[in-house]
Structures are given as structure tokens and as C-alpha cells.
Structure 1
Amino acid sequence: MITVENLVKRYSHTTAVNNLSFSLAPGKVTGFLGPNGSGKSTTMRCIVGLDRPTSGRCTIGGVEYGQLKSPLTSVGALLDGKAFHPKRTARQQLRVVARTHGIPNKRVDDVLELTGISQVADKRLKGFSLGMGQRLGIATALLGDPEVLLFDEPVNGLDPDGVRWVRDLMRNLAAQGRTVLVSSHLMSEMAVTADDLVVIGRGSLIASGPIKNFTESAAHTVVHVAGPDIEAMARVLGEAGFSGMRRDPSPDYPYGVLDIQAADRSKIGHALHLANLEVHELSDSHSSLEDVFMELTQSSVEYGIGAPVPGLGWNDQGGAR
């Protein structure tokens, strides 16, 4: 388990992390999200003892990293895919790290094979691509077979096959009961990899919890309604206090569709049932993780963007906006 308690980290006059607290349970992949400069990397560096907190503390299984008797077999981390001596080979690099904890060469061969770089194991690291360096970093993190793993942007430089491999690896590690913390800017990957999320901005916690709480909450749900009397549907739902947007007819929906924001599908269906209206479709969809992330962090980004185009209502169709 990883526990971050009231963590503060300042550099001169800059506060990188501001009173941040969260805890991670074993058996799950936790996505660590935030805009550039939000404090993710600093937090991870504090967890593994590379940076000393200004105040607060980070523990692994109740123990600070510096007090662990066998750090490499307790915690594995990929924080910088280029943190290697360029004149060493991948095999030499892993063997040097392995010797610090008495890890046998057989384990080095195993992680080289696991990460798909055994064929270039004797190639000097200065010739490694970014993706190969990432794989070596992951191999180093796995070397001690630790129960806790931290990965900072692990899919940088990887091709689609490599991205899928990392995704499956994270899921498998969590399924083995390990604690996995992974930061990424790829929301599409986090949406299919993470069980839980910790979202920070400007060094402070914005939100945390199961990923479904973010994407499938009522506020991020749209109910889609279609039927032969779309005019009456819009009027009835407007009178019931529902709001949304009306889409024009299409080949699939010759009468159009009502998209109703932040609504409960069962309540929509009940209102239409009471009005004795025929329903051809009653379904819902959820916001993407990217949309939710942008909404949560819009006041925390370093460089902002223009405001989104406001949605259109159906007031002119007899319903509520």
C-alpha cells in the first residue's frame, strides 16, 4: 500500500505539492492524473525518496522509503526512462542494479525476456530508442519482483503494440495483488487500464475514487430518447424539468433524437410512460475520461484554451432548455 499524508514540497518560492493526501490499496491500478506542472512527478519522487518532503510524509506499507530494508524488492519504479549509463548494455545495467540486492542473473534474463528486449540485451544503451529505454526502465522496476510499482508515463515512445503490452502488464500486476500507480497524459489508455483515479492540479487533490465515479456519474450521463412523436416527448420532458438538446432527423432516427443531460434513464422512461408516449429508443451514454479530466482541471492548466461552444436547447420545440 502507498500512503501520502499531507505532503508539501516547495522549491524556493514554488510550491510543487500542496497538502496532498491519498492512499492506494493493493490489487488495483491507480491512474495518477493532472496537467503539466501539477506535481505528479514530484509526488512520485517523494514516495521513492528521491525528493525530501518539506512537510508531510509518504509511506509504503507504513514505512518511509528510506527505512525499507530491501527497497528494490519492496518498490519498483520507472520515473525516468533515460536514467542509464550510455556505455553500458541493457544486460550490464540490470546486473549492476541486481547486485545491490543479491538478485541472481537468472532474474535479469527473465525481465529482459518479459519486457521484450532480450534480443538487444547486449547493445549499448546510447543506441536505444525512447521506447526501448522505457522497456528497460520497466525491466528495472520489475527486477526485485516488488509488491508496489510506480510508473511515470510508461508508454512514452512505444508503438501501439507496446502500449497494449504495458496496459496488459499493469492489469496483470494488479491482478497478482500488487499496488500499481501509473501517471499518464493518455486519457484513452487510463480509461481502459485504471481501476481508480487520483486527479491533482497545482499540487493539490482535485478528486479521487473508482474510475466509474468519474465517467458514469449522473452529471456525466446523457440519456437518448427517440420515438414517433418527438414534439410531444420534448414538451412532456421539458414540463418534467429535464433539459437537453434535440438532434435533427437522420436515416436511423427519422423523427430525431432528444439528448438529455445529467438525467436518470428510468425517470425519463417513467415520465414518458405516464404520458402514454411510444418510445423507440431509451439509452444512455457517458462522458469520456478525457472530457471529465478537462472539466475537472480546467482551472489548473498552465496554458488555457477557449471556452467550449454552448449547447443548443429545444426551447423552440416546446421543451425546456
Structure 2
Amino acid sequence: MIQVDNLTKRYGKVTAVDHLSFELKPGRVTGFLGPNGSGKSTTMRCIMGLDRPTGGKCTINGQEYGRLSSPLTTVGALLDGHAFHPSRTARQQLMVVADTHGFPKARVDEVLEMTGITSVANKRLKGFSLGMGQRLGIATALLGDPQVLIFDEPVNGLDPDGVRWVRELMRALAGQGRTILVSSHLMSEMSQTADDLVVIGKGKLIAQGDVKQFTESAAHRTINVSGPDIRAITDALSKARIYFDVDDGDEHNPAGVVRVNGGERAQIGHALHIAHVEIHELSETHSSLEDVFMELTAGQVEYGSGSNISGVPGQTPAQAPQGGQR
């Protein structure tokens, strides 16, 4: 278990982490999200004892990292995928760690196989790509077979197959009852990998909870209704005091689509049923994790996007058309 309690870290006059608190559960993958400069890496370094907190503390299974009797069998971490001596081979790098901590040679072979780099085990690290370095970093983190694992941007530099492999590895490790903390800027990947999320901005906690609480809450749910008579649908919803917007028709729904933000399908379906209104669609959609993340961290980014994304001087993106009735 990882517990961050009122953590504060300052570098001179700059506050990187500001009274941050959260607790991670065993058997779950927790995604650690935030814009660049939000304090994610600093928090991970404080957990691993690489930076000394200005205030508060971080504990792993109730102990600060520096007080753990056997650190590498308690927690494994990937914070820098290229923190290796370039003249060593992958096998030599792992053997150095194994020898200094009393791990058997067989474990080196196991993690090389587990991370898919057995074929390059005797290649010097100066010739490793970013993705290969990430795999070696993960192998090093797994060497002590720890119950707690911390990964900072583990899919950085990996191809799609490697990204899927990391996802499946995280899920498998959590399934064994381990505590997993992983940061990433790939929201689509986090939505498939993480059970829980901790979102920070400018060093402060913004939100935390189950992934579904972020994407499937009423605030991020839309009910879509279509049928041959849009006017009848809107009249029925208005009578039931259900607020809606109307989108123009397209090739799939020529008459248009009525959208109810934050609505309940059962309530809407009942209102249309008692009004004897024919419908062809009553579906539910949710905001993507990326959309929710952008909403949560609006105003928290260190460097915002420019308004002129068209690349043409003097032009700005066209505004989206306004919705229908409210």
C-alpha cells in the first residue's frame, strides 16, 4: 500500500507539490494524471526517497522508503528508462542489481523473458532504443518480485504492441494483489488500464476515485433520442420537464437527434411511453476520459495551447454551432 500524507515539496520559491494526500489500494491499478509540471514525477520521487519532502510524508506499507528493511522486494519503480551504464549489457545490468541484493540468477532470466528482451540481453545499452530501455527499466522494477510497483510514463517510446503489453502486464500484476501506481499522458490507455485515478494540478489534488466515477457520472452522461417525429419527442420531454438540446439531422437520423445531458434512460423512456411517442433510438453515451481530464485540469496547465491552431495567420478555429432548445 502507498500512502501520501499532506506531502509538500518546494524547490526554493517554487512549490512543486502542495499538501497532497491520497492512498492507494492493493489489487488495483491507479492512474496518476496531471498536466506537465503538475508534480507527478516529484511525488513519485518523494515516495521512492529520492527527494526529501519539505512537509508531510510518503509511506509504503506503513514505512518510509529509507526505513524499509528490503526495499527492492517491497517496491519496484521505473522513474527513468535510461538510468543505466551505457557500456553494460541488459543482462549485466540486471545481474549487478541481483548480485547486490541476493536475488538468484534465474530471476534475471525470468524478468528478461517477462519483458520480451531476452533476444537483446547481451546487447550493450548504448544501442538500446527508448522502448527497449523502458522494457529494461520494467524488468529491473520486477526483479525483486515486489508487492508495490511505481511506473512513471512506462509506455513512452513503445510501439502499439508494446503499449498493449504494458497494459496487460499492469492488469496481471494488479490481479495478483499488488499495488500499482502508473502515470501517463495517454488518456485512452489509462481508461483501459486503470481501476482508479488520482488527478493533480499545480501540485494539488483535483480529484480521485474509480475511473467510472469520472466518465459515467451524470455530469458526463448524455441520453440520445431519435424517431420519425422529433417535435413529438420534444413536446413529451418538455411536458415531463426534461431539458434537452436538438441536433440537426444527418444521413443516419434525417429528422435529427434529441440529446439530454445528465438524463436517465428509464425516466426519458417512461415519459415517451406515456405520451405514445414512437422512437427509434434511446441510447447512452459518456464523455471520454480525455474530455473529463481536460475539463478537470482547465486552468492548471503550465503552457496552454495557442488559439490559432489552423496554422494560417489571422485565422482562428470556427466555433461549434450552438445547440437547440433548452
TM-score computed with the length of structure 1 as normaliser: 0.95
Determine if the alignment matches structure 1 residue 210 to structure 2 residue 234.
no
Secondary structure of the corresponding residue to residue 101 of structure 2: coil
Measured after TM superposition, the shift of residue 234 of structure 1 is: 1.8
Contact preservation (8 Å) 2:9, 2:16: yes
Distance in 1 between the 2:321 and 2:217 partners? 20
Secondary structure of the corresponding residue to residue 100 of structure 1: helix
Aligned to 2:247: 247
Residue correspondences, number:
316
Distance in 2 between the 1:311 and 1:234 partners? 20
Distance in 1 between the 2:318 and 2:124 partners? 49
Aligned to 1:177: 177
Provide the alpha-carbon RMSD of the alignment: 1.5
Distance in 1 between the 2:265 and 2:61 partners? 43
Q: Which amino acid aligns with 2:129?
A: S
Measured after TM superposition, the shift of residue 16 of structure 1 is: 0.3
Aligned to 1:298: 298
Report matched runs for 1:67-82 at 5 Å. Answer: 67-82=67-82
Report matched runs for 1:25-104 at 5 Å. Answer: 25-104=25-104
Aligned to 2:234: 234
1:262-284 deviations in Å (ceiling 9; x for gaps): 21111211222232211221110
Determine if the alignment matches structure 1 residue 273 to structure 2 residue 273.
yes
From 307, 313, 324, give the equivalent of 1:314. 324
Measured after TM superposition, the shift of residue 104 of structure 1 is: 1.1
Distance in 2 between the 1:309 and 1:215 partners? 25
Determine if the alignment matches structure 1 residue 15 to structure 2 residue 25.
no
Measured after TM superposition, the shift of residue 242 of structure 1 is: 3.3
Aligned to 1:283: 283
Of residues 31-40 and 252-261 in structure 1, the stretch that sits farther from structure 2 once superposed is: 252-261
1:43-81 deviations in Å (ceiling 9; x for gaps): 000001001100100001111110000000000000000
1:227-267 deviations in Å (ceiling 9; x for gaps): 12111212332454434432333343232211221211112
Secondary structure of the corresponding residue to residue 156 of structure 2: coil
1:180-228 deviations in Å (ceiling 9; x for gaps): 0000000010000000000000000000000000000000011000112
1:72-128 deviations in Å (ceiling 9; x for gaps): 000000000010011111111111111221001110111011111111111111110
Aligned to 1:157: 157
1:155-177 deviations in Å (ceiling 9; x for gaps): 01101110000000000000000
Contact preservation (8 Å) 1:225, 1:280: yes
Distance in 2 between the 1:292 and 1:134 partners? 28
Contact preservation (8 Å) 1:148, 1:178: yes
Aligned to 1:318: none
Of residues 193-202 and 99-108 in structure 1, the stretch that sits farther from structure 2 once superposed is: 99-108
Measured after TM superposition, the shift of residue 310 of structure 1 is: 5.8
Distance in 2 between the 1:294 and 1:47 partners? 26
Q: Which amino acid aligns with 1:233?
A: I
Measured after TM superposition, the shift of residue 302 of structure 1 is: 1.2
Distance in 2 between the 1:150 and 1:292 partners? 24
Distance in 1 between the 2:321 and 2:104 partners? 61
Q: Which amino acid aligns with 1:216?
A: E
Aligned to 2:310: none
Distance in 2 between the 1:107 and 1:302 partners? 42
Distance in 2 between the 1:250 and 1:125 partners? 55
Distance in 2 between the 1:63 and 1:258 partners? 55
Distance in 2 between the 1:43 and 1:241 partners? 47
Aligned to 1:3: 3
Specify every segment of 5 or more residues in structure 2 that has no aligned partner in the other structure, as ranges.
308-316
Distance in 2 between the 1:32 and 1:40 partners? 7
Secondary structure of the corresponding residue to residue 93 of structure 1: helix
Contact preservation (8 Å) 2:247, 2:323: no
Of residues 259-268 and 87-96 in structure 1, the stretch that sits farther from structure 2 once superposed is: 259-268
Contact preservation (8 Å) 1:244, 1:312: no
Secondary structure of the corresponding residue to residue 167 of structure 1: helix
Of residues 159-168 and 245-254 in structure 1, the stretch that sits farther from structure 2 once superposed is: 245-254
